[in-house]
Structure 1
Amino acid sequence: MKGIFWNSRGLKDLPKRRFLAEASLEHRLDFIALSETGRDNFAPQFLSSLAGGVDFDWHCLPPRGRSGGILLGVRCDSLEVRSVVMGDFAVKFRVRSKVDGFNWALVAVYGAAQPELKPEFLADLVWICGSEQLPILVGGDFNIIRRREEKNNDNFDGRWSFMFNTIIESLDLREIELSGRKFTWA
C-alpha cells in the first residue's frame, strides 16, 4: 500500500498539482490525503488532474474559516471505500483492498492551529479513532508536536504534547518515524 499525507497549504499552485499527478503515476499511489486545502469543493476535472487521470474516490471536509480543509482520495482499482465518517477535523474511510480483501481504516486529519480549538480537535481524534475495530492508519497535520526536541524554537507548550501523547497511547497508535529530515516541513 502506498500513499501520501501532505499539508498542501492550498492547491492553487500548478507545481503542487503537477507534483501530485506525477507522484500518483510514478509511485502508483493507493491514497492521497491532503490537508489545509482551503477549499470546500472541487470540480471532477480538477480531482482527476490531481491523480494524474487515475480514477480516485474523493471526499472533502471543508475548511473552518480561512484555514483547514481535507481532501482524501483512494485509487478505485485498488481500494473500495466501504464507509465514510466525517469529523470536524478528520475524514475516515473504511476501505477494502481489492487485491486481498483486507479491511482497514484510513484517517486524514488537520488539527487546529489555534490553541482554543485544540481540545475540540483532540476530542474529535478520540471520537473518530477510539471505537475503530479495524487496523487503522492515521496521518496528516496534527498541529501538535510530541516532544520538545521536535520544535525549532523555544516556544513550546508541554500541555498539548502531554494530552496528545496520552491520546496516542490510549488509542494504541504507533508513530511511523520520519526518516531523512528532522522536521516535517523541511
Structure 2
Amino acid sequence: MNSHSQKSKVGGSILDLMDELVTVGQTMGYNMAGLGNKAKRRWIKELCQKHRINFASIQETKAESISLLTIKDLWGNQMFDHVVGSSVGCSGGILCMWNPNMFVKEKVSTCDYFAALMGTWAPPSSKLLIISVYAPQELNERRDLWDYLHTIIDRWEGDTVIMGDFNEVRSEHERFGSTFNRQGAIAFNNFISSACLIDLPLEGYAFTWAHKSASKMSKLDRYLIS
C-alpha cells in the first residue's frame, strides 16, 4: 500500500466527511440536459437548501462558462467558493461549489475530464483531495485519465475523495442492454486497486444512467475514497 493510505487519522476519518459531501449527477428518470435546463438548476438548488450541504459537484454542465450569479442562485447564498471545468463544445463540463468555512482551497487542477481540489476540511482539519470526474467515452482516453489521476493521488499527502461519472463499469452485472467491455473494466478496477481506493456503496438505484426507453442501463456514477 502507498504511504498516504497508511497514515493514522486524527479527529475523524474520511468516512466522517462523506456526510458533508453531495454529488449531483445524472439521476435515472430525470432530465439532466446541462445547466441550461431550468428544471435541473431548480433541482440542484432544492438539494443544496434541503440538505444544507457544504460541497456540491455537478457533472455535465454543458457550459463553457458559468456566471457567478448562476452559481449563487444554485448555492442559495453568497457564502461559497467554486471551480468551473469548461465543457468541450456541448459535452461535459464540471462545477464544484462549497462552503469556504468548511473546505479551504489551496490548489486547483482542471482539464477536460476532471477538476481536482487540494485543501483542508475543517473540522477535523484533514488534508483532503477532492476530484470531480466526467470521464471520456474512448477507452484509451479513460486509461490515460486513470494513470494521470493515480499520479495525483500518489503525490498527495492526505485523504482522497473521487466522485462523478466514470463512464465505466466494474463488472458485467453493472450493465444492462449494452456491451460489457472487459478490458475497460479491468483497467478501471486496476486503477481503483493501485490507488488504494474504496468503492463506497451507494443507496438508491442499482443503475445511475438509463436510456430514455430504459432498454439500456449502467452504473457509471460512484464515490471512491481513500
TM-score between the two structures when normalised by the length of structure 2:
0.75
CA distance in structure 1 between the partners assigned to 2:78 and 2:52 by the alignment: 9
How many residues end up aligned between the 2 structures?
A: 186
Aligned residue in 2 for 1:5: 23
State whether residues 87 and 112 of structure 2, in contact with CA within 8 Å, keep that contact through their aligned partners in structure 1. Answer: no
Between the aligned residues of both structures, percent identity stands at 24
Which residue identity lines up with residue 93 of structure 1 in the other structure?
L
CA distance in structure 2 between the partners assigned to 1:173 and 1:115 by the alignment: 21
Aligned residue in 1 for 2:128: 104
Task: Note closer, same or farther for the CA distance 1:85–1:154 as it changes in structure 2 (3 Å cut).
Answer: closer
Which residue identity lines up with residue 43 of structure 2 in the other structure?
F
Q: Which consecutive residues of structure 2, in runs of 5 or more, have no partner in the other structure?
A: 1-16, 26-31, 211-226
State whether residues 57 and 75 of structure 1, in contact with CA within 8 Å, keep that contact through their aligned partners in structure 2. Answer: yes
For 1:107, what is the secondary structure of its paired residue? strand
TM-score between the two structures when normalised by the length of structure 1:
0.90
Equivalent residues in 2 for 1:1-186 (5 A)? 1=17, 2-7=20-25, 8-185=32-209
State whether residues 178 and 184 of structure 1, in contact with CA within 8 Å, keep that contact through their aligned partners in structure 2. Answer: no
Q: Which consecutive residues of structure 1, in runs of 5 or more, have no partner in the other structure?
A: none
Deviation (angstroms), 1:136: 0.4
Moved over 6 A (4+): none
State whether residues 105 and 118 of structure 2, in contact with CA within 8 Å, keep that contact through their aligned partners in structure 1. Answer: yes
State whether residues 54 and 75 of structure 1, in contact with CA within 8 Å, keep that contact through their aligned partners in structure 2. Answer: no
Q: Deviations over 1:86-116 (max 9, x none)?
A: 2442111122233332221111011002345
State whether residues 91 and 107 of structure 1, in contact with CA within 8 Å, keep that contact through their aligned partners in structure 2. Answer: yes
Query: Higher RCO, 1 or 2 (CA under 8 Å, sep at least 6)?
Result: 2
Deviation (angstroms), 1:71: 0.9
Aligned residue in 1 for 2:219: none
State whether residues 35 and 61 of structure 2, in contact with CA within 8 Å, keep that contact through their aligned partners in structure 1. Answer: yes
CA distance in structure 1 between the partners assigned to 2:37 and 2:117 by the alignment: 27
CA RMSD of aligned residues (A): 1.8
Q: Deviations over 1:127-178 (max 9, x none)?
A: 3323222100101000011110000124111000001100100000000112
